[in-house]
């Protein structure tokens, strides 16, 4: 719409901006003018509606202006402009396809403006805009609508959660997804949900339900969008949160700037804002962390969902999804299976045909397989899979990378279900630790160390290692049976018990009593004095010392197995074993006793937290890291949380073991060297660069370039120097060099 030039006189006359300003300032006195404009609006609307599609540019422009004016002053005359919102809604929902783009945008903008002025409520606005978003064919329009909808949702949820609105919109989205499974329209539901999830506006189960339905759609785009949400939505949310909390404001700096720069209102405003922000951040810090469950945990009936996903998108031969999409869906299914310990037996046999080195992106398939395994999967289902991986991947003939991938995959599977391995196969695979390739060697060693912990009997005797052999002979180490679960406890409770014991002893020592006296009287006193309900400040400082336990003291803590090997003879080994077992049992009992007989106070819990932290510090320092490692932690360094999925990178060999490609090598070699357009020495190129940057030359260079004639005089005088003079000069030189030059070091 090209604006027609306005004559100067008319400009003064027909000034909508000034009229709007006047009306807003004093609505009562300008009511007549407003009513006139309202009539004008009505007339324009009538004219426009006679032919909405073929309206002339002039008509469109004047209608545009009228809508703008009325929208801005609508809140001053609510009675007169009752019909305005309905008009706008009708215009945009009936004619959005054919409307002039600018007019269309103006109508949408005016509706949002009315919402901001609270003339209409969010529900009616969103229910108007959303159908248009879904059906519009204009990209810019969709983009704008999406922005508007999103910002309105955020605004209406900013102060407190607007449950009715959320419920309405979620219902709309749900219906959109479920109404027509094959239409790509559901993509908008996904986009909106993901965005609101990311910003933590929606954190409950209903949006997850929407996404769940979208996963089961027929349209590939929709499936991909929804699957990606489950796989990455929570990470995205966390990242956004980290980002927002990262930006720190240095108040002192702002204050200092104000003292230096010109004092203005703007500056003052900026300072005030900074203070507000800092306060807000502090408030946020002190607030309890909102309990946000991940989308995978909020799923209702994951078993059914995983089964449906598998049957619909993977199992049948009818589905036409591309491999990438299938991989995504597979990742989701196996993630669900691993996380919720679901049982989908056909899933594992489905994998068989994909387990060849030629298969495209086989590493991510292997990773999916591994993450789909948990300790309740029947081992005989997994056995053929492991056999196949071993046959296809791990052989002398296959490339070293392939073998490493196969071994890693097997290790990952077995770390989740160790019973799936057969003895002969394991012993074969372990042989690869002698391989010349580092990747294969490391992978095989990983497998070996895994089985030393979880199933040492299956290894040959010489492969078992010291700890496992001793554990086996003492009977402490047993292979877990199928379906057997570890006895649960509170992590670090034993530490707490030990600490309490020590405290008690120390107190008794202070009082001059024997350390191992009867507890009865002391316990009560302890309860009175020390184990207060509240967390004391000195309590934490006290424990601060405790964290820095030295290495030696740590060794003293658990010296039993070491000593025994050196000192004890063979004959009394049996007795020792028994005693050891008894000790274990007693400790276990004590641990559970502490949890079952006393109520852990907040102070106790705080102490527990500290002890745990101290223990993990020790572990990181390497005291006994290997020994305490849990069975489910992977062996390549970082421990996984169970919620995090397994990716192809975990299966592939570490990146530094991979051979570099030629390009990478060249890039590495080139790094830090000047580019060589012309054939000059490196020095010359550096110098020309320096010249170009306008930098000065070094002293050395200046010396070298100095005119020969100028140096002559000094050379001559040097020859004429007396011995004393020469000595002085030389001494001065030595002294200077020890001090670090004329300008001295360190001043």
Can you give the binding site for other proteins, defined by CB under 8 A?
2, 4-7, 10, 13-16, 19, 28-29, 31-32, 35-40, 42-44, 46-47, 50, 56, 58-59, 62, 79-80, 705, 707
- Name the residue nearer to other proteins (CB basis): 51 or 245: 51
- Name the residue nearer to other proteins (CB basis): 50 or 151: 50
CB of 109 to other proteins, least distance (A): 21
Sequence-distant (≥ 6) Cβ neighbours of residue 467 within 8 angstroms = 452, 627
- Name the residue nearer to other proteins (CB basis): 15 or 589: 15
CA quadruple 371, 372, 377, 380: dihedral, nearest 10: -90
Nearest to 347 by CA among 323, 321, 313, 324: 313
CB of 185 to other proteins, least distance (A): 29
- Name the residue nearer to other proteins (CB basis): 58 or 380: 58
Residue burial 628-666, b: 16+ Cβ < 10 Å; e: rest? ebeeeebbbeeebeeeebbebebbbbeeebeeeeeeeee
- Name the residue nearer to other proteins (CB basis): 39 or 536: 39
- Name the residue nearer to other proteins (CB basis): 160 or 707: 707
- 470 burial (CB, 10 Å; 0-12 / 13-18 / 19+) is middle
- 438 burial (CB, 10 Å; 0-12 / 13-18 / 19+) is middle
CB of 715 to other proteins, least distance (A): 20
Helices (H), 512-550: 520-529, 537-547
- Name the residue nearer to other proteins (CB basis): 534 or 701: 701
Residue whose pair of structure tokens reads 């299966």 in the numeric block: 651
- Cα(652)–Cα(442) distance, rounded to whole angstroms? 12
CB of 674 to other proteins, least distance (A): 22
CB of 42 to other proteins, least distance (A): 8
Q: At what angle do helices 139-156 and 101-116 cross, to 10 degrees?
A: 0
CB of 736 to other proteins, least distance (A): 29
CB of 31 to other proteins, least distance (A): 6
CB of 350 to other proteins, least distance (A): 56
- Name the residue nearer to other proteins (CB basis): 518 or 699: 699
- Name the residue nearer to other proteins (CB basis): 54 or 719: 54
CB of 78 to other proteins, least distance (A): 13
The set of long-range contacts for 351-357, using a CB threshold of 8 Å and a minimum separation of 24, is: 351/385, 352/384, 352/385, 352/388, 355/385, 355/388, 355/389, 355/392, 356/392, 357/392, 357/393, 357/398, 357/402
CB of 693 to other proteins, least distance (A): 16
Longest dimension (CA), the chain: 118
Nearest to 359 by CA among 312, 326, 397, 337: 326
- Name the residue nearer to other proteins (CB basis): 26 or 584: 26
Pair 41, 72: CB distance under 8 Å: no
**Cβ atoms within 10 A of the Cβ of 394, count?**
23
């Amino acid at each position: 719409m090209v604006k027609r030039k306005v004559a100067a006189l008319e400009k003064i006359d027909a000034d909508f901006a000034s009229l709007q300003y006047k009306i807003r300032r004093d609505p009562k006195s300008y009511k007549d003018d407003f009513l006139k404009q309202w009539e004008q609006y009505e007339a324009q609307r009538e004219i426009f509606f006679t032919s909405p599609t073929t309206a002339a540019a002039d008509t469109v422009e004047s209608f545009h202006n009228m809508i703008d004016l009325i929208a801005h002053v609508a809140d001053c005359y609510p009675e007169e402009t009752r019909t305005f919102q309905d008009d706008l809604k009708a215009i945009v929902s009936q004619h959005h396809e054919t409307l002039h783009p600018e007019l269309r945008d103006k109508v949408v903008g005016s509706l949002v403006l009315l919402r901001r002025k609270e003339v209409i409520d969010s529900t009616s606005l969103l229910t108007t805009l959303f159908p248009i978003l879904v059906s519009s064919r204009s990209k810019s329009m969709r983009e704008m609508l999406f922005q508007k909808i999103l910002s309105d949702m955020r605004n209406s949820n900013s102060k407190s959660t607007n449950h009715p609105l959320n419920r309405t919109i979620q219902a709309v989205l749900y219906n959109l997804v479920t109404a027509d499974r094959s239409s790509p329209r559901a993509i908008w539901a996904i986009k909106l949900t993901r965005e609101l999830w990311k910003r933590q506006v929606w954190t409950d189960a209903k949006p997850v339900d929407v996404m769940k339905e979208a996963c089961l759609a027929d349209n590939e785009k929709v499936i991909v969008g929804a699957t990606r949400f489950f796989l990455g939505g929570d990470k995205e949310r966390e990242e956004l949160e980290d980002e927002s909390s990262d930006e720190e404001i240095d108040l002192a700096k702002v204050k200092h700037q104000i003292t230096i720069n010109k004092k203005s209102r703007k500056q003052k405003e900026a300072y005030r804002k900074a203070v507000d922000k800092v306060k807000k951040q502090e408030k946020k810090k002190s607030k309890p962390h909102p309990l946000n469950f991940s989308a995978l945990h909020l799923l209702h009936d994951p078993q059914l969902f995983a089964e449906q996903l598998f049957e619909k998108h993977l199992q049948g031969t009818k589905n036409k999804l591309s491999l990438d999409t299938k991989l995504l869906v597979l990742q989701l299914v196996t993630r669900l299976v691993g996380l919720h310990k679901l049982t989908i037996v056909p899933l594992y046999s489905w994998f068989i045909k994909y387990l060849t080195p030629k298969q495209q992106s086989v590493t991510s398939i292997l990773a999916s397989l591994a993450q789909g395994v948990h300790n309740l999967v029947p081992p005989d289902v997994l056995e053929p899979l492991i056999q196949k991986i071993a046959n296809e991947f791990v052989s002398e003939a296959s490339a070293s990378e392939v073998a490493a991938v196969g071994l890693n995959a097997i290790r990952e599977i077995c770390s989740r279900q160790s019973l799936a391995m057969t003895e002969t196969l394991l012993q074969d695979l372990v042989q690869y630790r002698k391989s010349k390739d580092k990747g294969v060697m490391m992978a095989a060693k990983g497998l070996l160390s895994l089985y030393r912990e979880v199933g040492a009997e299956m290894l040959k005797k010489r492969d078992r290692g010291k700890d496992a052999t001793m554990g086996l002979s003492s009977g402490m180490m047993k292979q877990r049976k199928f379906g057997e679960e570890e006895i649960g406890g509170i992590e670090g409770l034993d530490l707490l018990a030990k600490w309490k014991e020590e405290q008690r002893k120390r107190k008794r020592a202070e009082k001059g009593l024997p350390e191992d006296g009867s507890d009865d009287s002391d316990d009560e006193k302890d309860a009175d004095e020390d184990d207060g309900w509240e967390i004391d400040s000195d309590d934490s400082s006290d424990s601060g010392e405790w964290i820095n336990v030295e290495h030696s003291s740590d060794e003293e803590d658990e010296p039993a197995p070491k000593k025994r090997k050196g000192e004890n003879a063979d004959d009394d080994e049996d007795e020792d074993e028994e005693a050891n077992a008894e000790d274990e049992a007693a400790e276990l009992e004590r641990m559970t006793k502490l949890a079952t007989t006393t109520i852990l106070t907040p102070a106790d819990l705080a102490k527990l937290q500290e002890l745990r932290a101290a223990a993990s510090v020790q572990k990181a320092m390497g005291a006994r890291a290997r020994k305490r490692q849990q069975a489910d932690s992977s062996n390549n360094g970082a421990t996984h949380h169970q919620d995090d999925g397994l990716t192809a990178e975990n299966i592939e060999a570490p990146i530094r073991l991979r051979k570099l490609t030629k390009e990478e090598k060249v890039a590495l070699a080139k790094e830090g060297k000047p580019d060589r357009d012309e054939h000059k020495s490196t020095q010359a190129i550096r110098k020309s660069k320096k010249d170009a940057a306008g930098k000065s030359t070094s002293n050395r260079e200046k010396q070298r370039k100095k005119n020969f004639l100028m140096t002559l005089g000094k050379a001559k005088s040097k020859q004429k120097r007396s011995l004393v003079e020469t000595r002085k000069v030389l001494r001065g030189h030595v002294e200077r060099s020890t001090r670090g030059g004329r300008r001295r070091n360190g001043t």
